[in-house]
Amino acid sequence: MAHPDDAELWAGGTLARCSASTAAVTIAVPHHAEPGRDAEAAAGAAILGATLNQYDRPTMATLRELLLAVRPEVVITHPLRDVHPDHRALAETLVAALPDVVITTGHPRRVYTADSYNSLTLDGPIPAHTIIDITDTYDRKQRALAAHASQPIADHFGPMAETLARLWGSRTGRDYAENFVPLPVLGRLPATPAL
């Protein structure tokens, strides 16, 4: 993800759910120049049950090294046409690093994009695809998001996260959910209906 609070905002409930059932969840974000943001990222990751991996700059080389070291089964990133330019840049750089890594290691096997501001990209609404029920982990998502005290969580990001989670939840008959859209990895899409 591009910013210290992005994992919590766009995928926090799903990451908390995965950390309860899998061996390892890693959140990777670049170091942030604002004082305190790195500590907030560490606190948010801990609440979700994830390991935080921070790096200097999201270049193709640094993302390639990270993917080679972690060898994730699943990667979640931003939409390629996200409305935020930092999100777009990171997603494009990640996608550019993937072919060599996948050919070398076979990982990641699945890549998904998360939600965006009000579920909009530069091309229009994000399509409903893989909707994950986060009703049981929604409180952890909100606590992790609240760890980013330097950001406008209470007035902006928190209410938006709740609106989006309720929207995706209502589409599946659940209280809260998060939506993910698969990206092709070397021309293949995941065959599984879940992350």
Phi, psi (deg, nearest 5) at residue 111: -130, 130
What amino acid occupies position 29? Answer: V
Give the pLDDT of residue 31.
93
Give the pLDDT of residue 5.
96
What count of residues does the chain have? 195
Domain boundaries, the chain: 6-183
Of 46, 56, 58, 53, the residue nearest 19 (C-alpha): 46
| Average pLDDT score, the chain | 94
Residues of the chain short of pLDDT 70, as ranges, are 23, 193
Strand, coil or helix: what is 178?
A: strand
CATH number belonging to domain 6-183:
3.40.50.10320
182 close to 129: Cβ distance less than 8 angstroms: yes
Residues in CB range of 17: below 8 A, 6 or more apart: 132, 134, 136, 137
Helices then strands, each counted (H, E), the chain: 6, 8
Q: Is 0.85 topped by the overall pTM?
A: yes
Give the pLDDT of residue 193.
65
Give the pLDDT of residue 23.
65
Give the pLDDT of residue 140.
97
